[in-house]
Amino acid sequence: MSEERVNFGSKIGVILATAGSAVGLGNIWRFPYMTGENGGAAFIIIYILCVIVLGIPCMIGEFIIGRHGASNTARAYTRLAKGTRWKWIGYLEVLTGFLITGYYAVVSGWCLNYIYAALMGELKGDPAFITAYFEAFSNDPIRPVVWTIIIFGITHFVIVHGVRNGIEKASKLMMPTLFVLLLVIVVAACLLPGASKGMDFLLKPDFSKLTGDVFLGALGQCFYSLSIAMGCLCTYASYFSRQTNISKAAVQIGLIDLLVAVLAGLMIFPAAFSVGISPDSGPSLIFITLPNVFNQAFSGFPVIGWLVALMFYALLSLAALTSLISLHEVNTAFFYEELHISRKTGAWIVTVACCLIGAVCSVSIGQKAHMSLFGMDLFDLFDFVTGQLMLPVCGMLMCLFMGWYVPKQIIKDELTNWGTLRFSCYHLFIFAMRFVCPLCILAIVLHQFHLI
């Protein structure tokens, strides 16, 4: 028997929980290295435009579907689709979220391990030692799986306590903690000798570096960073009250997401420039490059370096955990509502199934020769199928569904809270859903496959 559906208990709970869904490793890991690879401040300016043009309209669209449907993502689409094939978008989003949950937890588990490694002083050594440590850990068949299970255990504990006592309470604790840790590390990084060069790189735009690739890279980063089309925003919106101003919430969450990303840049680039490390170190930035940065930057004060490293990986783990909780909730809500079982049973189904997916993906990294398909280990395959195929397809279909099928009166009612609010950008929103956002997402797909 399913529990009675509840809403978030406060406005701050709505914002922090939904922002926690959007703020994840994409902000603190991917955004800084994307910024480093694409010219610094110029990339950030383009990114801000992408949030306005693509991110916020898509977020509003998902909020409308979620709150109107007042149920899990699949059922929300089904209620709006009224027997048409549009309903399958919801099921596809749930499946996408399910697959992402499994492999995203692997990297989240790595973050937890690095807290332990920093605490135990295991990250001290020269660059070759740090690189060897990461390779040995990620290829180990046991340790990454253990950490994956541990972070799933924490996530499961939050989910089984429900919306208000689990997700909302956890978000009210974790998101402020995340911001405090972020600000402390930013201050520490900006006080390092030579840090001003990193701040200049991040805050002074060099428009000569702007290319079509930079623009398309910013579009892709915006799409993935805001957790669009994986069911998270739609599911959380189903817990919004009728008084929640969904357009205002979308703007606030977009701003929080952007703020965290820029602060992450201010945390990383001043420290990197201080010790002469290139800002375009790519995906290895947080697990290989940054431990070296902490070791060199605070070599005269090893205790401070140890503390900063510890706080940094605690920050990463919190960001990973808030996103993992939202991904877990997408699937938990689907199972317990569609199968008419308890929330606890639904959560156990997701936890056990995704632990198995995570374990297989983790082991495949160290067993490339034996556990690969189409030339990729299973971890990379999951990332490719969900990130480059399923998410863009879901996002594009969601926009077309909102722009061309959903009755205009429903959209107006949701945007104005049934006539109690003003929303002067209605026609602009419809235009974005019909044309601008689908074309932007199509451009992201074509760019990923090097077709433009």
Model confidence over 401-442: pLDDT tens digits? 999 999 999 999 999 999 999 998 999 999 999 999 999 999
Summarised one tens digit per residue, pLDDT across range 173-187 is 999 999 999 999 999
C-alpha span between 379 and 434 (Å, rounded): 34
Is residue 93's pLDDT more than 70?
A: yes
Confidence band for 2, pLDDT divided at 50, 70 and 90: very low
**216-227 per-position pLDDT tens digit:** 999 999 998 999
- Tokens describing residue 177: 């903690």
Query: Comparing 283 with 278, which gets the higher pLDDT?
Result: 278
Q: What is the mean pLDDT of residues 318-345?
A: 96
* Dihedral sign from CA coordinates of 75, 80, 83, 85: negative
Give dist(CA 104, CA 283) in Å, integer: 15
Question: How far apart are alpha carbons 8 and 322 in whole angstroms?
Answer: 16
Using DSSP's 3-state secondary structure scheme, residue 299 falls into: coil
Which tokens in the block code for residue 34?
């994307």
CA distance 71 to 244: 16
What pLDDT is recorded for position 221?
Answer: 92
373 has a pLDDT exceeding 80: no
pLDDT for 3: 46
Residue 366: which pLDDT band, with cuts at 50, 70 and 90?
confident
Specify the range with the lowest mean pLDDT, choosing from 5-9, 102-106, 176-180, 439-443.
Answer: 5-9
Phi, psi of 372 (to 5 degrees): -135, 150
Contact 391, 223 (CB under 8 A): yes
For the chain, give the percent of residues with pLDDT over 70.
97
* Residues found in the chain: 452
Low-confidence winner among 59-68, 91-100, 183-192 (lowest mean pLDDT): 183-192
Q: The tokens of 347 are what? A: 């959560």
Mean pLDDT on 382-393: 93
pLDDT digits (tens, 9 = 90+) for 155-213: 999 999 999 999 999 999 999 999 999 999 999 989 888 899 999 988 888 888 888 88
Which strand (E) or helix (H) includes residue 176? Answer: helix 169-190
pLDDT beyond 80 at 282: no
Please tell me which of 34-43, 70-79, 179-188, 442-451 the model is most confident about, judged by mean pLDDT: 70-79
Q: Provide the b/e sequence for 57-70 (b: ≥16 CB within 10 Å).
A: bbbbbbbbbbbbbb
More confident residue, 38 or 321: 321
- Which pLDDT score, from 0 to 100, does residue 295 have? 84
pLDDT value, residue 208? 85
Angle between helix 437-448 and helix 56-69 axes, rounded to 10 deg: 110
Task: Give the per-residue pLDDT at 368.
Answer: 66
Q: Answer yes or no: are the C-beta atoms of 293 and 271 closer than 8 Å.
A: yes
Interatomic CA distance for residues 362 and 100, integer angstroms: 13
pLDDT averaged over every residue in the chain = 92
- Among left, alpha and beta (phi > 0; psi -120 to 50; other), residue 288 is alpha
Chain centre to alpha carbon of residue 95: 17
Q: Find out whether 312 and 143 touch, Cβ atoms under 8 Å.
A: no
Q: Which residue has the tokens 């030692």?
A: 129
C-alpha 138/C-alpha 144 separation (Å) is: 7
**Alpha carbons 341 and 326: distance in angstroms, whole number:** 20
Residue 280 is predicted with a pLDDT of: 66
C-alpha 104/C-alpha 109 separation (Å) is 9
Quick one: how far is CA 285 from the chain centroid?
17
**Please, which residues have CB within 8 angstroms of residue 46's CB and are 6 or more apart in sequence?**
210, 214, 215, 218
Domains of the chain, start order: 11-448 (1.20.1740)
Give the mean model confidence (pLDDT) for residues 131-141: 91
Question: How far apart, in whole angstroms, are the C-alpha atoms of residue 152 and residue 102?
Answer: 9
Q: Are 325 and 235 in contact (CB under 8 A)?
A: no
